[in-house]
Structure 1
Amino acid sequence: MHESTQNLLQLKGTMQKTLFYLDDAICHYQAVRDTDKIIIQGPTGRLSDYLACVHRLKKAEEYFQQEDPDGPELNMLRGRLESAKSQLESQFQVLLGRYSKPVQTVKILDVLAKKYLNGSAGGVEEVQLIPQTRLQDIISISTWLIGKVVVLPISTWLIL
């Protein structure tokens, strides 16, 4: 009786592991279908959802690279990831183009004059070049584009 119980418990553990791995595999197979709508709409206005979908596609790509490198799913995932990265690059360029504006020379001279008058220990003044929310979007996008050549602004804050 004890031996039969041990065998049944082993079978139960094996069955649970099998179901876990099967659920994981199904999740990767459905990644393109589940993320399709958001990826097609692009990152504008829903960047966090978009990046979550790109992350899911990347995880599925890693899974298929390991499990079935010659399968059609891997090629489909790579195509979708390239499209998503291209959209991220476009959004990155749009944000930089929209918010990258030169600081007026008069403003820089005013900040320098205030610093000179207050001394080096005196108040540090910041000239905001990019709004904080857009700066966070740019940082999030650039994190995903690390593997590519990314042109970041020389400085998003001028601290004198």
Structure 2
Amino acid sequence: MKILIMNGPNLNLLGKREPGVYGTGSLAEINASLQQLAQTLGVGIGFMQSNHEGALIDGLHSAGDEYDAVIFNPGALTHYSYALRDAVAAIDIPVVEVHISNIHAREEFRRLSVIAPVAAGQISGFGVLGYQLALQAAMELARAHKAGKSL
């Protein structure tokens, strides 16, 4: 089993960008902790980060060729990218949407996710722990999906 971790715009600046909201850990640190958890769980993972919507769409389109599930933090594109929403809906593997901050407790424009209705689930507001929770959820969703079952 293999899971793709995708991060959208500005997440490459984690640790530097608004540490009061997003914490002080870098994306590299998050990825290293996920790699360690993945080894413990016996799953493979891959990583992708882009500040470009089209690259994220291409990543989603090709994810099913190599991966069994996707963990996706679309960043600010969460709130308005119907193209990303359609790409998530178009692929036949589970996608878990993850956010470091609680988007539902932030500015009004951040409370809407156009991705959530087509994602298998959303984890929001648990800081970087959300990625680890998402990895466990994605693994279980991928197993169920392969078996033709739902959770």
TM category (shorter chain) comes to under 0.3
Higher strand share: 2
Q: TM-score, normalising length from structure 2?
A: 0.24
TM-score, with length taken from structure 1: 0.23
Larger helix fraction of residues: 1
Instruction: Tell which has more relative contact order, 1 or 2 (C-alpha 8 A, sep 6+).
Output: 2
